[in-house]
Amino acid sequence: MVSVLGRLEERERAARKRVEELQAELEAAQSEWDEWLIARRRVGEVWDAGESAGQETVAGNKAGTPSAARPGSVVPIWREGLSVEVLAPEYQQVMGLLVERRAAGGQPLNCREITALAGLEVVPAKIEGVRCKLKRLVARGWAHEPVPGRFACGDGRDGGS
């Protein structure tokens, strides 16, 4: 007769094995995602360099720096002097919420809170869309994730040049 402790240990080993398999799968997926992020960043840099070739500075706007963004446009890597106006409207809204929270001295926000504050329906699809935007803003230096799942505006990234 198999003991209760023996069965528990069996199930614990099986669960641990499954967790290890999932962690390996997650690491592989994260690595692939990172590679795609790097590829997109490189293409964006090349694209920006190609667009800026031959352009002059207009009204204080650096050559190659878009003056206004359109929905669905690529999020540029943040650099000194770059304003939130270069971001697509939905990214501007998310950054505005992060800036408001920082100005009020509040704690970083999670995706569910940002989804609600943005006036979106708080359902998994909308929350994941916001999470994707936040992760992209973090990857490009516009925001940061001080605690996993919580997002804040980075210093100097409040839209001012």
**Could you list the mean pLDDT of each consecutive 10-residue stretch along the chain, which spans 161 residues?**
87 95 89 84 76 46 45 76 88 93 90 94 93 92 92 67 35
pLDDT, position 98: 94
pLDDT, position 131: 93
pLDDT, position 74: 73
pLDDT, position 100: 92
Find, among 141, 131, 31, 128, the residue nearest to 75 by Cα.
141
* pTM exceeds cut of 0.75: no
pLDDT, position 58: 37
